[in-house]
């Protein structure tokens, strides 16, 4: 089956075409046939398209909404210019898998999208006002363009974390607030944490029950996950993706009293404070320079910029703190896994996070760490390290495609 995987943001649309099926999943031999990204939907959009094995194409066009963007993508996919093997017309796209950010308590696994599911995602908008409306736009657009005959599946960022116990997901606020409004920790990046755990099992030859690991998704958004017996036991993001680690523009954990203090001292409204916490904090806020880790590392190295160093140090210390917390919560772990743009590509950050954790049995191998870059997968711990360290480049799209096939064929998900 050719699956179109869609990930719609407020002004962006990312896609991949992946050929997969139940037997290909079993053999782990799927093919990525094409991928692309449309940015700045709503104005002069920037379009990047790439068929497998061919150079990427960059274009610009005024695309007024997600429907226009998807229309553009679909026309390209079936065009003679793209020449994607096995795809000549719309009928060659057999199903669509959507990344949906928030599934709340309602969606604990991937589901085929019908009216009731759409209503459920709409009901969740108040928990993810930035993300779910964009995901819905992608769903509406795909339905309109592909017709009701093409099944669509929603894969939720939150669903992997639905196994968390109450002791992990409840905030210590009056219980009736949870009952009334479902205020609790949901966690995000679930598909990425799930993928890292799945690959770990393959590499280490472990069964689900034997999988006790900490996964660190370090990208623009960052989160840690404690995976106990193959399931999410705790995670650093919360009701929204604001809690936990230091991120590109989000500060993560903070004393909630800071909000009132800010309102009082700076005369800020709730929505202005929300903007500070979501868009002006984290690496950007601390450094005053950029939210981009690669650029910060360069500033620190080339110009010895004090605030760049401070931002990176705080970033690394927060990750260490969560590693320590999760090792305690799980009574130890067999491995720590790095993924996401920073986790996959920055040997320096991996080294800085792991240095000083030797007492906990975490020993990084400098040579292995230095060699593992640019999307490569492998182990970076010393031979005798009690806690193993791995780099596993994430592949959320593959899991979305697999979940789509399984949902359409009504096959059980095994991990």
21 among known catalytic residues: no
The one catalytic residue in 28, 123, 157, 253 is 157
Report phi then psi at 35, rounded to 5: -150, 165
Distance CA 236, CA 243 (A): 6
Asked whether position 376 contacts ligand ADP by CB under 6 A, the answer is no
Asked whether position 341 contacts ligand ADP by CB under 6 A, the answer is yes
Asked whether position 342 contacts ligand ADP by CB under 6 A, the answer is yes
Asked whether position 289 contacts ligand ADP by CB under 6 A, the answer is no
Q: Which of 277, 199, 294 is nearest to 242 (CA)?
A: 277
Distance CA 130, CA 102 (A): 10
Distance of CA 194 to the CA centre of its chain: 10
DSSP output for 344-404: HH-HHHHHHHHTT-GGGTB-B-HHHHHH--TT--EE-B-TT-SBEEEE----HHHHHHHHH
Asked whether position 238 contacts ligand ADP by CB under 6 A, the answer is no
Distance CA 124, CA 133 (A): 9
Residue among 113 and 293 whose Cβ is closer to ligand ADP: 293
Asked whether position 285 contacts ligand ADP by CB under 6 A, the answer is no
Asked whether position 282 contacts ligand ADP by CB under 6 A, the answer is no
Binding mask 296-315 for ligand ADP (x = CB under 6 A): -x------------------
Per-residue b/e over 105-136, b at no fewer than 16 CB within 10 Å?
ebbeebbebeeebbebbeebeebbeebbebbb
Contact window for ligand ADP (CB under 6 A) among 272-280, 320-328, 330-338, 341-349? 341-349
Contact window for ligand ADP (CB under 6 A) among 47-55, 103-111, 255-263, 339-347? 339-347
Residue among 191 and 212 whose Cβ is closer to ligand ADP: 191
Asked whether position 221 contacts ligand ADP by CB under 6 A, the answer is yes
Asked whether position 244 contacts ligand ADP by CB under 6 A, the answer is no
Asked whether position 292 contacts ligand ADP by CB under 6 A, the answer is yes
Give the binding site for ligand ADP (CB under 6 A).
Answer: 219-221, 248, 292-294, 297, 340-342, 345-346
Q: Among all residues, which ones are annotated catalytic?
A: 157
């Amino acid at each position: 089956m050719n699956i179109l995987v869609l990930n719609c943001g407020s002004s962006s649309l990312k896609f991949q075409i992946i050929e997969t099926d139940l037997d290909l999943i079993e053999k782990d031999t799927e093919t990525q046939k094409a991928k692309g990204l449309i940015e700045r939907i709503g104005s002069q959009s920037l379009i990047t398209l790439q068929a497998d094995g061919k150079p990427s194409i960059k274009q610009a066009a005024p695309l007024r909404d997600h429907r226009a963007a998807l229309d553009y993508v679909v026309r390209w996919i079936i065009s003679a210019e793209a020449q994607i093997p096995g795809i000549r017309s719309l009928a060659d796209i057999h199903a669509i898998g959507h990344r949906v950010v928030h599934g709340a308590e309602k969606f604990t696994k991937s589901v085929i999208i019908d009216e009731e599911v759409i209503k459920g995602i709409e009901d969740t908008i108040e928990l993810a006002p930035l993300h779910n409306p964009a995901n819905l736009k992608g769903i509406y657009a795909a339905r309109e363009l592909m017709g009701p005959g093409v099944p669509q599946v929603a894969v939720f960022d939150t669903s992997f974390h639905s196994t968390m116990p109450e002791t992990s997901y409840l905030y210590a606020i009056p219980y009736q607030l949870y009952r009334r409004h479902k205020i609790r920790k949901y966690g995000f990046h679930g598909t990425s944490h799930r993928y890292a755990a799945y690959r770990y099992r393959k590499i280490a030859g472990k069964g689900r029950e034997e999988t006790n690991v900490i996964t660190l998704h370090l990208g623009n958004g960052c989160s840690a996950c404690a995976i106990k017996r193959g399931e999410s036991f705790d995670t650093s993001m919360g009701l929204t993706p604001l809690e936990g680690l230091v991120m590109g523009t989000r500060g993560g954990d903070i004393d909630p009293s800071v909000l009132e203090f800010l309102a009082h001292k700076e005369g800020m409204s709730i929505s202005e404070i929300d903007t500070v916490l979501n868009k002006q904090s984290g690496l950007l806020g601390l450094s005053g320079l950029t939210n981009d880790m690669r650029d910060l590392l360069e500033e620190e190295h080339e110009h010895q910029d004090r605030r760049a160093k401070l931002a990176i140090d705080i970033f690394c210390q927060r990750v260490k703190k969560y590693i320590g917390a999760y090792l305690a919560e799980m009574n130890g772990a067999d491995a720590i896994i790095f993924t996401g743009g920073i986790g996959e590509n920055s040997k320096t950050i991996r080294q800085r996070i792991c240095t000083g954790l030797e007492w906990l049995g975490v020993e990084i191998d400098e040579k292995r760490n230095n060699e593992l870059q640019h999307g490569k997968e492998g182990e970076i711990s010393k031979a005798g390290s009690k806690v193993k360290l791995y780099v596993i480049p994430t592949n959320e799209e593959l899991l979305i495609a697999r979940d789509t096939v399984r949902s359409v064929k009504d096959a059980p998900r095994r991990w």
